[in-house]
Structure 1
Amino acid sequence: MRFQFVLSEIGAGLRRNFSMVVSVILVTFVSLTFVGAAALLQVQISHMKNFWYEKVQVAIYLCMDQSESPSCTSGAATDAQKKTIANALNSDELKPYVEKVYFENQSEAYKHFQEQFKGTSLEGTVTPKQLPESFRVKLVDPEKYEIIREYFASQPGVEEVQDQNEWLDQLFSLMNVATAVSLGVAVIMLVCAILLVGTTIRLSAFSRRRETGIMRLVGASNGFIQLPFVLEGVIAAAIGAVLASGALWALVHYFVENWLRNRVTSFSLIGTTDVLWVAPGLLVLGILVAAISSVVTLRRYLKV
């Protein structure tokens, strides 16, 4: 009997404040969509880091005749200088940081250049003599790049020490900024959702103040009186969370899995499985926001 009464009160509240409930659903949907997008973006960043950090190398470019670096004043790197660099990379001092080393001569550098820029305007614009020889170093820990750079930056015969992590860090920084923007928008929208939930509950409580007064007179507890109002907000927020999860699933399924994955094959992309892991968190977050907002509002405005 009590359960049926609570359901009837919830239905009455949802009907009386239908437009406000729809507003709560929409605002919750938008805010949780941004929260979910930010979470999925962080998952994607993690996938990319795991892939690229396993492949990045430090390139120690050697001096050529036309090099302008202060360490190249004597001209192109000599065989003795190359041997010194190779011995240093295989020394006990650097062994804990270096996993693998291989030497790339000018012919190999030209071949890799042609493969990398095949079909572009840069293809065929250089000759093998214009490309420097280099030592390609794979590190045990890619984040220890500075050790290699400091060791070889002023080494005779070395023109430049370049780490592929530098442009990766810039890419990940941009993605982190996008995540922060998404979270910022989500926070603003969540605040709007909290205010809307509070307003909806307050209007619902005001429109039913006579009924709640009668319930109080017949001995109903505060929890029993407040329960229908709280559930109204929770239901609206839960619907918004489900819609947000559905929108994220559709975006990942149709855009990422069915379209983007066929065009980007160099690293792993997020999938609908990741959305299924994020969705419960969105549902819990939406319910908590609505429940807390409802309880706080009822304590302030439900005076009978």
Structure 2
Amino acid sequence: MRISTIKYFLNDAFKSLWRNRTISLASVATVTATLFIFGVFLLAGLNIGKGVEDVESKVEMRIYLNEDITIDQKNALEKQLREEPGIKGLEFETKEQALENFKKELKGKEYLLESYEGKANPLPTSYIVKLTEPQFAEVITEKYAKAPGVEDIGNDQDLINQISSIANTVKWVGAAIFVVLIAVSLFLIGNTIKITVFSRRREVGIMKFVGATDWFIRWPFVIEGIVIGIVGAIVSTVILYFAYKYLYLNVTSALITSQLIAPSYVYTTMLWEFILSGILIGTAGSIISLRKFLVV
């Protein structure tokens, strides 16, 4: 393709965008809204997914022991646990240690536990079991729940399941909304191109009559759709970046242990994904709307 031809396509596309600027702006706004809402759900899904991974990496179980457990039972249980696949760490915690750790969690309200010192300590002796993968929790619970000397078993599996369920819901809702908004974007971009083509239908007919190929006629309109898509992608990325940065700074200042994805992810990764999506939406809208006008 010659440079002069490319210049012709570009000039024609930008002239058309300016002539139909009201509808073009509406199309840009729709693409912006589509990608922005998708970006909100994407960031929510990524942060929830990261939270799930963080919880899973720290997942642990507690095997609470009976008061009357014998030394032989304790030693046999510990030996079995250390040989159990899926366990990466095992720590024995006495009643006294459990009480001290509980005090640390209260942070300044330790006086609430003063009456539980010594023989009044209600906390059980236990093994703290750290797992390589969360799915081992159910297996170990079933295997050791009725083992000699074991009173009860506690784990974080329910919490992990709830967080995973929320993450999946966010992903599916985000995907559904994205599909609906893509359809709206295609409709608006398609209408923009249709209006342009309709106003130039005689010119298109003449070009077809003198032997111009479909793609020679189609390219300016495709470029028009691509420009709408790219502008919408850039605008949505800018809005999403500043909105997410504001949220990120507020959350991280309030929660010391927060592990949210950094705002830089929006312009280092999502920008290019949005631009590609915008180009695809714009190109598809243009090609679909031109079909019947190129049939002579």
TM-score (normalised: structure 2): 0.86
Q: Tell me if structure 2 keeps the 8 A contact 1:106–1:132.
A: yes
> For the aligned residues, what is the CA RMSD?
2.6
Q: Secondary structure at the match of 1:141?
A: coil
Q: 1:121 and 1:225, CA in 2 relative to 1: closer, same or farther beyond 3 A?
A: farther
2:97 maps to which residue? 108
Find the partner of 2:222 among 215, 219, 230.
230
Say if 2:271 is the partner of 1:268: no
Deviation per CA, 1:50-102, whole angstroms, max 9, x where unpaired?
A: 433222211112346xxxxxxxxxxx545444333223213x4x1x3222111
**Residue 229 of structure 1, CA deviation:** 1.3
1:285 maps to which residue? 277
CA–CA distance in structure 2, aligned partners of residues 126 and 81 of structure 1: 31
For these two proteins, the number of residue pairs brought into alignment is 289
Q: Tell me if structure 1 keeps the 8 A contact 2:90–2:129.
A: yes
Q: Tell me if structure 2 keeps the 8 A contact 1:35–1:182.
A: yes
Deviation per CA, 1:126-150, whole angstroms, max 9, x where unpaired?
A: 8362222211011233322222111
**Residue 303 of structure 1, CA deviation:** 4.0
Q: Secondary structure at the match of 2:178?
A: helix
Q: 1:152 and 1:18, CA in 2 relative to 1: closer, same or farther beyond 3 A?
A: same
Q: Tell me if structure 1 keeps the 8 A contact 2:34–2:178.
A: yes
2:44 maps to which residue? 41
Q: 1:203 and 1:134, CA in 2 relative to 1: closer, same or farther beyond 3 A?
A: same
Question: Which letter does structure 2 place at the counterpart of 1:292?
Answer: A
CA–CA distance in structure 2, aligned partners of residues 301 and 233 of structure 1: 16
Q: 1:160 and 1:247, CA in 2 relative to 1: closer, same or farther beyond 3 A?
A: farther
Find the partner of 2:18 among 15, 18, 24.
15
Q: Tell me if structure 2 keeps the 8 A contact 1:38–1:180.
A: no
Say if 2:189 is the partner of 1:197: yes
- Identity across the alignment (%): 28
Q: 1:194 and 1:127, CA in 2 relative to 1: closer, same or farther beyond 3 A?
A: farther
Q: Secondary structure at the match of 2:247?
A: helix
Q: Tell me if structure 1 keeps the 8 A contact 2:45–2:170.
A: no
Q: Secondary structure at the match of 1:156?
A: coil
Q: Secondary structure at the match of 2:127?
A: strand
Question: Which letter does structure 1 place at the counterpart of 2:34?
Answer: S
Q: Secondary structure at the match of 2:89?
A: strand
Deviation per CA, 1:112-136, whole angstroms, max 9, x where unpaired?
A: 2233343689954983622222110
Question: Which letter does structure 1 place at the counterpart of 2:91?
Answer: Y
CA–CA distance in structure 2, aligned partners of residues 183 and 122 of structure 1: 51
CA–CA distance in structure 2, aligned partners of residues 192 and 123 of structure 1: 59
Structure 1: runs of 5+ lacking an equivalent: 65-75
Give the structure with the larger helix fraction: 2
CA–CA distance in structure 1, aligned partners of residues 115 and 30 of structure 2: 56
Q: Tell me if structure 2 keeps the 8 A contact 1:51–1:267.
A: no
CA–CA distance in structure 2, aligned partners of residues 174 and 127 of structure 1: 38
CA–CA distance in structure 2, aligned partners of residues 118 and 172 of structure 1: 30
**Residue 273 of structure 1, CA deviation:** 3.2
Equivalence map 1:1-304=2 (5 Å)? 1-63=4-66, 76-90=68-82, 92=83, 94=84, 96-118=85-107, 124=113, 127=116, 129-256=121-248, 258-275=249-266, 276-304=268-296
**Residue 4 of structure 1, CA deviation:** 4.0
CA–CA distance in structure 1, aligned partners of residues 182 and 110 of structure 2: 48
**Residue 298 of structure 1, CA deviation:** 0.8
**Residue 26 of structure 1, CA deviation:** 1.5
Q: 1:267 and 1:89, CA in 2 relative to 1: closer, same or farther beyond 3 A?
A: farther
Q: Tell me if structure 2 keeps the 8 A contact 1:237–1:287.
A: yes
